[in-house]
Amino acid sequence: MFRNEQTELGEVHFIFCSDAYLLEINRQYLKHDYFTDIITFNLAEKGEPVRGEIYISVERVKDNAKTLQVSFREEIHRVIFHGVLHLCGYKDKKPSHIRQMRSKEDEYLAQYF
């Protein structure tokens, strides 16, 4: 993915955790008081290869998979790809950004499965 997105990879750490753990990260670092499935931190300085941490709530991914009626395997991969796309510079705050992010996730899921 990094090569396809023309982003130099240094290192990425994936931390699979509980809802409670990720909620605390969300509160402490982002000042958000709600559950989420993923939080991504790019720790690299500008111009350096990507060095990041991707925190994923396994509980939230399981719940989302049920709600979306997809397998846990598909949903966990979507979330992983979502975090990597953030590290490649993609955003998801505006509707147009969300559409672009979802399109990229779908593209990589199709390649993977």
pTM (two decimals):
0.94
Residue 96 lies in a domain: yes
Q: What is the pLDDT of residue 59?
A: 98
Give me the domain span that covers residue 49.
Answer: 9-112
Residue 4 lies in a domain: no
Look at residue 113 and tell me whether its pLDDT is greater than 90. no
Residue 18 lies in a domain: yes
CA distances from 42 to 14, 65, 73, 108, 112 (A): 12, 26, 25, 21, 24
Residue 28 lies in a domain: yes
Q: What is the mean pLDDT of the chain?
A: 97
Residue 35 lies in a domain: yes
Length reported for the chain: 113
Q: What is the pLDDT of residue 76?
A: 98
Residue 71 lies in a domain: yes
- CATH number, domain containing residue 84: 3.40.390.30
Residue 108 lies in a domain: yes
Could you tell me if 15 and 9 are in contact, meaning their C-beta atoms sit under 8 angstroms apart? no
Q: What is the pLDDT of residue 13?
A: 98
Summarize pLDDT for 67-108 with one digit per residue, the tens. 999 999 999 999 999 999 999 999 999 999 999 999 999 999
Q: Domain count of the chain? A: 1
